[in-house]
Chains A and B, each alone.
Chain A
Amino acid sequence: MVVLILKLYVILVVLVMSVYAIRHYWLTVNRLRGEQRLYYQDLVDDDLPRITVLIPMHNEELVARSSIEAILRCEYPRELMQIIPINDHSDDRTGEILDELAAEHEIVTPLHRHDGLRGKPAALNDALEISRSNVIINFDADYLPNRGALRDLALSFKDPEVGAVMGRVVPINTEANLLTRLLDLERSGGYQVDQQARHNLKLMPQYGGTVGAYRRDLVQAFGGFDPTVLAEDTDLTYRLYISGWKIVYANRVECYEEVPETWQVRSRQIRRWSRGHNSVMFRHFLPLLKSPYLNRREKLDGMLLLLIYLVPVFLLTGIVDSILLFFMGEMQIIESVFVFLFVASYNSFGNFAPFYQIGTASLLDGVSHRVRLLPFLMFYFLLNIWTISSGFFMAVLDKLQSRTAEWEKTQRFRKEDQA
């Protein structure tokens, strides 16, 4: 009986992995050969919406000034613009820098938080209360947008069905080491191919929490961001889709970000993402399937996206399962020439699906030698299997014990002179 269960589980893992491999290829082929949907960046309209830019900051003295100055350089009518940098319990010079900027620029209105809940969702909720606009644009503290970014993001809300929009992030510290270069490749695949293809296919592009925008009244109608959720962006993504709104992806709205430079910091970051994403998965899986506003394709894509941080858990447990079966001498699971052909095909193509996606993104981005680093992503993926799995089990414990995860800020690496 135990052997039968172990064998069935191996088959399940193989099927799950195959579904995701097919998804990778489908999206990649669409990006390469399919029709590319227009985004709203080509609209020219004298009637722009009033916007508020929110920048949550916790101990960001190294980057606070440069980030806000980058936003002030953006081309957008000043009378329609408000910038709220949120000083969230900082104990460095962040608050002082923000007050200096507020004195220099009337549209900069800092929000200082010294009590109440810590963390991005709680900080955003407080800022939404004092915002004077319905279109809210979010940037992280280390982001440097191009001059047209605000206009390109805000224009998408001309579409009455758009609840949120997501731009593209590009790592700026790629030179630092092999890890940052691998993260650069991974980001390319995620945005240039994955997000854009889902936009093309009218599936479910994801709101990523930064370089993005949303309607304030919708978020407030949902009761604001849930401060107990670590992935408030994924939570908003699903709330919007389930209640009939759309999210669009703006590949042209590019923005530099800083990625982790040490494996420890990256591990903590991705563990946090996994924990947050999986808690969102527990919350929205059934409502997603029941939503009357989504068609079958959207539901399938939404389900695959919700389960994405569960795949490494499947893989890890599948490997352990197959090792057990190997030592039990029970590796003969299904005997058929078709199974052999399937396994051979998967080994030839399926295993390489993510690499194919990232390679395609590199091709579209016009890069040259960095694509040679692709094989090294294997080691990075191995790390992800472990950290994402541990994040999943933490999310399970959160659910079982009804405990609240604490927000953890990602360490910055920018030097003062670079800021």
Chain B
Amino acid sequence: MSRRMMLAGSVLVLILAAVSLTALAQGLIEMRSPEVPPAQDGGWLLISAFVLLMVLPFVPGLLEVAVPRDRYPLPIDLEYTKDPRYMGRSARRLLLGGLGDALRDPGRHKVTLSKPEVLEIHDGLNLADNGRLDLLTWVRGDAVFGKGARCEEDIHVDGGVTFGDESFLRSVVAQGDIELGKGVHVVRWIDSDGDIVIGRDSTLGISAASGGSLRLGDGSKFRRLWGSPILTEGHDGAPPKPQVPSAVPRHDATGKTDIDDHVTRHDGDLLLDLVTNDPVRPLVVRGDCEIGDGVVFRAPIKVYGGIKLGKGAVVLGDIFAENDVVLGEGSVVEGNVFTQSAVWLGRGARVGSPARRTSVVARKNVTLGGAAAVYGYVLTDGAGEVACGER
């Protein structure tokens, strides 16, 4: 009741205010121009319309004040942290949280996860070629899906899981290894506590995350990858050799260089192909940057344009760029690669190391060449693809 009274009071106050303003305005006009006749009957009609138009925009707000329907703070997820394996972990939590102990026997059970669903539990599963699963499935052992299998709902596997060529699946989370054949299509994501092997020309939905290694066949398409390491076709899996830092290379191609205590800033394009003994500072290049074949640079680099690493070049810090980042054959970045554009890793290129997992993040495309390795995370807002052919 009090809210309604407040609403009525507010409307009344606004109307009175508007009428007073109108009267004041009218008075001012008359004072300045006495020849203007006082408002006649038609004038009051205009004044009424004016008052109505003054009050009208406030009516929805007055209703919201009187009967609040959206008064709570904007929601913040106070538990949010960055977790590359969030999909798999949250799905597993949701499944286990929605099940009582009594519901863990093989067979079909009605469960409520994010919505009411039917869960089918198997001790082990071997689905024939072109077989089909339409239910949410939990396999308490290993699972094998034949060629052309189709799974319309999420699959949880306690052991390892294999999908035959040309399979179609929504998502799978496995505690063992996952192996996908050629041309498998994942709609949402895959997650494994073990290793993951992806066949050629597969599509990996929005995320493929592995607690171990993640091997990608040529032609695989992806958005997010997590693994240590992530290896593309042709990589023998051998751990990288440690990089021996050389002296600092610096050579000004164009523009001028400004050095302070913290960073070296270079205006214009820059080619790093000479070795000098200058002290190491982070480098900011306001142009494009190229690092020559075999050159080792020991600090982070920020580039306003694009950056290209030559054959066997090494950057022991991070790379931040506005335009494309091209890592040449056998080149190495020990830190992160971050760009507002695209990234291309050439044959045998590497980002990160077993001792330091890092990221390749690009707003546009990420292309991984053959025998490339990333220790950590790959994310693209555009399209990700493994392309082992010559570029």
Contact = CB atoms under 8 A, between A and B. Distances in A.
Contact of B359 (A44, A221, A369): A44
A214 B247 CA distance: 30
A393 to B, nearest CB: 28
B71 A38 contact: no
Nearest to A368: B70
B1 interface: no
The bracket for how many chain B residues form the interface is 35 or more
A170 B74 contact: yes
Contact of B262 (A37, A43, A217): A217
A268 B381 CA distance: 44
Contacts of B68: 175, 369
B61 A37 contact: no
Contact of B79 (A44, A147, A217, A367): A147
A237 B355 CA distance: 36
Interface in A49-105: 70, 75
B69 interface: yes
Interface string B26-38: 0000001000000
Given A43-B336, A46-B358, A221-B261, A147 B363 contact: no
Contacts of B61: 372-376
B78 interface: yes
B383 to A, nearest CB: 16
Interface string B70-112: 1111101111111010000000000000000000000000000
B135 interface: no
Contact of B263 (A160, A172, A188): A160
A101 B38 CA distance: 74
Interface string A157-182: 01111000000001111110010010
Interface string B332-364: 000110101000000000000001111101010
Determine which residue in A161, A254, A327 has the highest number of CB atoms from chain B within 10 A of its CB, and name it. Answer: A161
Contacts of B335: 45, 47, 158
A402 to B, nearest CB: 32
A174 B78 CA distance: 17
Given A38-B340, A43-B361, A45-B356, A147 B78 contact: yes
A133 interface: no
Contacts of B57: 375
Secondary structure of the A side of the interface?
mixed
A152 B260 CA distance: 27
B73 A171 contact: yes
B72 A373 contact: no
A365 B81 contact: no
A38 B69 contact: no
A148 interface: yes
B377 A44 contact: yes
Determine which residue in B73, B355, B356 has the highest number of CB atoms from chain A within 10 A of its CB, and name it. Answer: B73
Contacts of A373: 61, 64-65
Contact of B336 (A41, A158, A178, A370): A158
B265 interface: yes
A178 B65 contact: yes
B177 to A, nearest CB: 22
A368 B74 CA distance: 11
B73 A174 contact: yes
B358 to A, nearest CB: 5
Contacts of A184: 73-74
B74 A44 contact: no
A44 B69 CA distance: 39
A218 interface: yes
B379 A158 contact: no
Nearest to A76: B81
Contacts of B379: 42
B284 A188 contact: no
A378 to B, nearest CB: 9
B262 A146 contact: no
Contacts of B80: 146-148
A151 interface: yes
Contacts of A25: none
A373 B355 CA distance: 54
B7 to A, nearest CB: 13
B302 interface: yes
A146 B76 CA distance: 8
Contacts of B74: 170, 174, 184, 188, 365, 367
30 contacts: A35-B363, A42-B82, A42-B359, A43-B336, A43-B359, A45-B335, A45-B357, A45-B376, A46-B376, A146-B77, A146-B78, A146-B81, A147-B79, A148-B80, A158-B335, A159-B300, A159-B318, A159-B320, A160-B283, A160-B301, A160-B302, A170-B73, A174-B71, A174-B72, A175-B72, A188-B74, A217-B262, A221-B261, A369-B68, A373-B61
The 9 closest A-B pairs by CB, nearest first: A160-B282, A369-B70, A148-B81, A372-B60, A44-B377, A370-B70, A369-B69, A375-B57, A75-B81
